[in-house]
Amino acid sequence: MIRHICMFTLKEDNKERSIVEFFERAEKLKELDIIKKFSIVRNAEKTPASNYDVALIFDFDTVETLDEYQKSQQHVEFGKFVSSVRVDRACIDYEL
């Protein structure tokens, strides 16, 4: 099992609206049955401003299914949106 965690800092312009849209668009990724566990989270209030704003936490059976996810049309479209509203990204993929 592979856990994929991807965190984003969003642009200050319309940040709250971007967070809402991030969640709405990310929810559509649930249509991909290769994602075995699915979480979308946002940074808690009153935590350091240096923290990332939002994150995706997904589990996949294998590195190959993670790769399949990353090449999927749904992910590519989501990635285009995220690229337009983010200023920073960090990602880790690790075995469970």
Confidence of residue 3 (pLDDT cuts 50, 70, 90): very high
The residue to which tokens 């990635």 are assigned: 79
| C-alpha separations of 25 from 22, 35, 79 in Å | 5, 15, 10
Give the chain's mean pLDDT.
97
Average pLDDT estimate for 53-69: 98
CATH number at residue 36: 3.30.70.100
CA distance 3 to 37: 9
**% of the chain at pLDDT higher than 90:** 99
* The model's pTM: 0.93
- pLDDT of the residue at 73: 96
Could you list the residue range(s) of the whole structural domain that residue 35 is in? Answer: 2-95
pLDDT 10s digits, 7-38: 999 999 999 999 999 999 999 999 999 999 99
User: What are residue 74's phi and psi, to 5 degrees?
Assistant: -60, -45
| Domain count across the chain | 1
Cα 93 to chain centroid, rounded? 12
